Amino acid sequence: MGYIRSDGQVGCRNLVAVIPSVTCAGDVASAIVRQVAGTVGYFHHQGCCQLPPDLDQVTETLISLGCSPNVGAALVVSLGCEGTDHERLVEEVRTTGKPVK
């Protein structure tokens, strides 16, 4: 039993991940999670005023969360001014075949 993903991974959950790409987007992401059943927020305090290697690590971590086999779809909440690479985050999660916005 489980959820077979188009990339061959199998998850035991089918969550919609709400991923703020920067801490400042966390309030909006939190409001979405409170109002939409079946969503889970991946909150953090990163993505702004960091050195490039640290921003890369945050981006990689968020990508890993979105690519988890327990995630069936993802919503990336972005301000557009963050240091994390929100466009790369969306594209990498999309490569798994999951719907992502």
Q: Where are the beta strands (DSSP E) in the chain?
A: 3-4, 10-11, 15-20, 39-41, 71-77
- In tens, the pLDDT along 7-18 reads 888 999 999 999
Report how far residue 23's alpha carbon sits from residue 19's, in angstroms, rounded to the nearest whole number. 10
What is residue 48's predicted lDDT score, i.e. its pLDDT?
A: 86
- Evaluate if residue 94 carries a pLDDT over 80: yes
Inter-residue contact 32 to 77 (CB < 8 Å):
yes
- Evaluate if residue 1 carries a pLDDT over 80: no
Report how far residue 15's alpha carbon sits from residue 81's, in angstroms, rounded to the nearest whole number. 27
State the total domains in the chain: 1
Query: Is 46 inside any structural domain?
Result: yes
Query: Could you tell me the CATH number of the domain that includes residue 80?
Result: 3.40.50.10860
- In tens, the pLDDT along 27-85 reads 999 999 999 999 999 999 998 889 999 999 999 999 999 999 999 999 999 998 888 99
Query: Is 73 inside any structural domain?
Result: yes
Inter-residue contact 21 to 84 (CB < 8 Å):
yes
The answer, as to whether pTM is greater than 0.95, is: no
